[in-house]
Chain A
Amino acid sequence: MRNLIAFLQRFRIFLVFAILQILALSWYVTYLSFPRNQFLTTNNNIAIKVLEWEHDLTKHFNLSKNNTDLQWENIYWRKRQPQFMYQLSRGKVKINDTIYEQQYAYIPAEVINSSVNRRNNYFTLNVGSAQGIKRGMGVFCQQGVVGIIHYVSQHYSLVKTVLTKDINIDVSIHMKKTDLPGLLKWDGRDPRYGMITGINNDLRIKKWSKVETRGGSGIFPKGLPVGKVSFTEPIEGQALWKVEIRFSADYRRLQRVYIIKNLHLAEQTALEDRIPEDDE
């Protein structure tokens, strides 16, 4: 009898342990796929206040680097303004607005909280549903793609960055004659390097060829920079390349980002929903 009580005593401890573990792990597993409760992320009121306060303290650390980057971007766009160019053939240059319609709107935002050394890295931004942010919008910075909005509260949002396990952004390797489509992945090793899967090894890939977004899913426009191919290796037993890329953006000191709103996304998804599904 005494043994039985001792056994139950021991078992009760294990039971509490198991319940707490199941609580924690179920939270972990469900959040990775779909967030349900905003209270348990950095998007809740208390955590966001503390993180904002910390951000106010640390946001000037990379100030001069960020200012230089912004200045370079300004010069880049200024060079493309028609009024700063010398007009070679007078009276013929005309910007016809009926041909080009705006497809993407951009919302600027600031990264409040970020991490790069975990397996799944999320950034917190200081814009939310009040600014028109919705789940599934793309996020990019001046140098390259950052991620996809994962969760939105009223004034803040959470980005699932390219530094996560199952991000799967469709990209293509830009080559002289063709573009090779593939999926962007991250193996969790180094925040400077990513991977592209699904590239057939019938074509040789030049080192340092550019990798850009493909724009197929309507999240990102075509041609946003992602990185450059840094290493290729054939996968044993498969007709595929193992492609490693170097990200063009440095996610470790990222502060200013833009969120892309595709104004034609509803039209595109409505059209694509008409594709009949295979019932076989």
Chain B
Amino acid sequence: MNIAYKHIIRFVIFAFLQALVFNQLNIGFGIHLMIQPLYIMLLPFELTVIPLMGIAFLLGLVIDVFSNTYGLNTSALVLMAYLRPIVFKFYGPREGYDPLKEPTAHDMGISWFGLVYGILLSLHTFWFFLLEIFEIGRFGFILQKTILSGGLSFLLALLIQSFILNSKQKK
């Protein structure tokens, strides 16, 4: 029950941070910071794919409502939730994941987290901008936005982990 509460509170925090802080930041160069993929990434290992997609759908819906993107975030997050078990399986240890551990950089090591989250985040971001722009002949622009936004969002995810999640675990 403890772990469920933790993830529900985290859901609210992530949704509001994204809607009220990161959506309002205008860095320029078409950069759009996204932290909601990190929430999907940090859900426990033993969660199966269908509840995972349900949670992703809900989170995307909340963020879409707040940012007038009409289903873009929902679609990208559901795609990421669908791919998460596949990527996890591919890069997982041979004997399966330790159920006591969480998929964080702290528990699983920075190289594992960097690889898996990097793949999932870039797929999510690429899908998001592909749908958003949706024009043939603008592929370079889509890639540029994906690389810039994805790269910065990745650094932001590492930062959030090192500040918030680490201090929580020490207590």
Contacts and interface: CB of A to CB of B under 8 A. Distances in A.
B141 interface: yes
Interface of A: 13, 16-17, 20-21, 23-28, 31-32, 40-42, 44, 47, 50-51, 54, 58, 113, 115-120, 122, 124, 158, 188-191, 252
B78 A24 contact: yes
B110 to A, nearest CB: 29
Counting chain B CB atoms within 10 Å of each CB, which of A28, A41, A50, A120 scores highest?
Answer: A28
B20 interface: yes
Given A21-B78, A21-B79, A27-B74, A118 B32 contact: yes
Interface string B79-90: 100100000000
B70 interface: yes
Question: How big is chain B's contact interface, by range?
Answer: 35 or more
Contact of B30 (A42, A120, A124, A189): A189
Interface SS of chain B: helix
B152 interface: no
27 contacts: A13-B49, A16-B53, A20-B57, A20-B78, A23-B71, A25-B75, A25-B131, A27-B70, A27-B74, A28-B70, A28-B71, A28-B131, A40-B64, A40-B65, A40-B70, A41-B65, A47-B65, A47-B66, A50-B16, A50-B19, A51-B20, A54-B20, A115-B67, A116-B26, A117-B31, A158-B68, A188-B138
Contacts of A124: 68
B150 interface: no
Given A24-B74, A31-B71, A40-B65, A188 B30 contact: yes
Nearest to A25: B75
A24 B66 contact: no
B70 A118 contact: no
